[in-house]
Amino acid sequence: MSDTLSAESISRGLGTRMIGRNVLYYSRVTSTNETAKQEAGRGVREGTVIVAGEQTAGRGRLKRTWLTPAGNIALSVVLYPKKRVLPSLIMMASLAVSHSIETVTGLETQIKWPNDVLINGRKVCGILVESDVRDEKVNYAIIGIGINVNAGKDVLSGVQFAATSLNLEAGKEVSCLDVIRELVKALDNLYSTISPGGPVFSEWRNRLVTLRKKVRVTSGREVFEGIAESVDADGSLLVRGTDGSLNRIIAGDVTLR
Q: Calculate what percentage of the chain has a pLDDT beyond 90.
A: 77
Report helix, strand or coil for 117: strand
Per DSSP bridges, beta strands 122-134 and 116-119 are: antiparallel
Instruction: State the greatest distance between any 2 C-alpha atoms of the chain, in Å, as a whole number.
Output: 57
pLDDT above 80 (res 62): no
pLDDT tens per residue, range 66-108: 566 678 999 999 999 999 999 999 999 999 999 999 999 999 9
Q: What is the Cα–Cα distance from 92 to 74, expressed in whole angstroms? A: 17
Question: ∠ at Cα 147 (170, 149), nearest 5°?
Answer: 35
pLDDT above 70 (res 127): yes
Tally of residues, the chain? 257
pLDDT value of residue 38: 96
Mean of pLDDT values over 40-47: 97
48 pLDDT band, cuts 50/70/90, is: very high
Q: How many CB atoms lie within 10 A of CB 216?
A: 15
pLDDT above 90 (res 149): yes
Mean of pLDDT values over 164-172: 94
Mean of pLDDT values over 168-172: 94
- Residue ranges of the domains in the chain? 7-206, 211-256
CATH 3.30.930.10, domain 7-206, yes or no: yes
Q: Report the sign of the C-alpha dihedral through residues 197, 180, 146, 43, in that order.
A: negative
CATH topology identical between 7-206 and 211-256: no
Q: What is the Cα–Cα distance from 115 to 91, expressed in whole angstroms? A: 7
Residue type, position 180, single letter:
I
Mean of pLDDT values over 176-183: 98
Q: What is the Cα–Cα distance from 227 to 218, expressed in whole angstroms? A: 14
Strand order in the sheet with 110-112: 23-26, 49-52, 73-79, 137-147, 122-134, 116-119, 110-112
Q: What is the Cα–Cα distance from 133 to 213, expressed in whole angstroms? A: 34
pLDDT value of residue 201: 96
Fold of 211-256: SH3 type barrels. (2.30.30)
196 to 22, 64, 69, 84: CA distances (angstroms) = 27, 28, 35, 7
Mean of pLDDT values over 216-239: 92
pLDDT above 80 (res 246): yes
Q: Are 184 and 14 in contact (CB under 8 A)?
A: yes
Mean of pLDDT values over 217-233: 91
DSSP annotation of 132: E
Four-point Cα dihedral 15, 183, 5, 27, nearest 10: 120
pLDDT value of residue 182: 98
**179 vs 158: which has the higher pLDDT:** 179
